[in-house]
Amino acid sequence: MSVLVGKKAPRFSAKAVVDGGDIVNNFSLDQFIGRKHVILFFYPKDFTFVCPTELHAFQERLPEFESKNVAIVACSTDTEESHWGWLQVPKKAGGIQGVTYPIIADTNKTIASNFDVLDGHYEYDDEGGLTAVGELVALRGLFLIDKEGIVQHQLVNSLSLGRSVDEAMRIVDALKFHEEHGEVCPANWHLGAQGLSESHTAVATYLASN
Active site residue ranges: 51
- Phi/psi at 46 (5° precision): -75, 160
Q: Three-class SS of residue 4?
A: coil
If one counts every other C-beta atom within 10 angstroms of the C-beta of residue 147, the result is 14
On whether the CB atoms of residues 76 and 137 are closer than 8 A, the answer is yes
Sheet holding 22-27, edge to edge: 22-27, 14-18, 103-105, 70-76, 37-42, 140-145, 151-157
If one counts every other C-beta atom within 10 angstroms of the C-beta of residue 136, the result is 15
